[in-house]
Amino acid sequence: MEIRFDDQVVLVTGGSRGIGEAVAAEFLASGARGVAITSRRAENLVATVERLGESDRVLPIEARADDPDAAASAIAAVIDRFGGCDILINNAGTNPSAGPLTDVDLGAIDKTWAVNQRGPLVWSREVWHQTMRESGGSIVNVSSVGGMQPGTALGAYNVSKAALIHLTRQLAFEMAPQVRVNAVAPSVVRTKLSAMLWDGMEDHTASLHPLKRIGEPSDVAVAVAFLASEAASWITGVVLPVDGGVTGASPVPGM
């Protein structure tokens, strides 16, 4: 079954680079009528629109992921420009500080949780009330394998991504049957956000994955597109690891 999004309108938060840009490119390549991308910085969006090369189908919107007013006006702008919003991808994420949860600065924790867990709730509620409750739709949240298993480097981030997984299930329950809500959980993907985990040490990071490479943004984009599409019309409330086998194909120690 070929996955197509003809006549569908998509909003991707954090679409100016990395996984979000790849997701936007995937929807455009699969025929989406309109793709809105958000970011904190207008100049970043200008460059992304140029790279995507489909300016008549792309709507760049400057909007912070943790700002409810920005979410409300961004979704209104998408509906105004394209006549609806069928798919929301909560992709924007941040990781302002590394380290164990026991030591991370509380301000950094507040920021991480505001963007990574409260943000997707804010955007999902807004799109629900503005259109999806009546018109239906699909939401995909970009979580992380760090939300499924603990780790040494990213304590606050991991907790935010675990909360996002439960948010996915809670909203999938509350929004059914009109709206399906699912999540992807990537491991290390080649982007700016995760550079500390692979830049200068890619062979080592790759070796920790059963499939022996790190992920590319396009690996995540195709999984997001599947979950958002009609091909997944009987799937809601699930978390799909996109992780080179880290969660599903790693052995139990010593067994």
Ligand X SMILES: NC(=O)c1ccc[n+]([C@@H]2O[C@H](COP(=O)([O-])OP(=O)(O)OC[C@H]3O[C@@H](n4cnc5c(N)ncnc54)[C@H](OP(=O)(O)O)[C@@H]3O)[C@@H](O)[C@H]2O)c1
Q: Give the interface with ligand X as residue ranges (CB under 6 A).
A: 14-20, 38-41, 44, 64-66, 91-94, 115, 142, 144, 186, 188-189, 191-194
Instruction: Specify the residue, 4 or 206, whose C-beta has the smaller distance to ligand X.
Output: 206
**Residue with smaller CB distance to ligand X, 4 or 73:** 73
Rounded to whole angstroms, the Cα distance separating 141 from 227 reads 10
157 noted as active-site residue = yes
To ligand X, the closest distance from the beta carbon of 86 in angstroms equals: 21
Give the nearest distance from C-beta 2 to ligand X in angstroms.
26
Beta strand residue intervals within 164-222, DSSP E: 179-186
Q: Are 175 and 216 in contact (CB under 8 A)?
A: no
Q: Which of 79, 157, 161, 236 is catalytic?
A: 157
Rounded-to-integer distance, Cα 158 and Cα 160, Å: 5
The radius of gyration computed from the CA coordinates of the chain, to the nearest angstrom, equals 17
CB of 39 to ligand X, least distance (A): 3
Q: Based on CB atoms, which residue is closest to ligand X, 115 or 176?
A: 115
Classify residue 125 by burial, with Cβ atoms within 10 Å: 0-12, 13-18, 19+: middle
Please report how many Cα atoms fall inside a 13 Å half-sphere around the Cα of residue 47, on the Cβ side: 7
What is residue 46's three-state secondary structure? helix
Would you state the structure tokens that stand for residue 4, as one six-digit string?
Answer: 């197509």
Q: In terms of CB distance, is 20 or 137 closer to ligand X?
A: 20
Q: How far is the CB of 145 from ligand X (least distance, A)?
A: 7
* Alpha carbon distance 101, 94 (integer Å): 16
Which of the residues are catalytic? 157
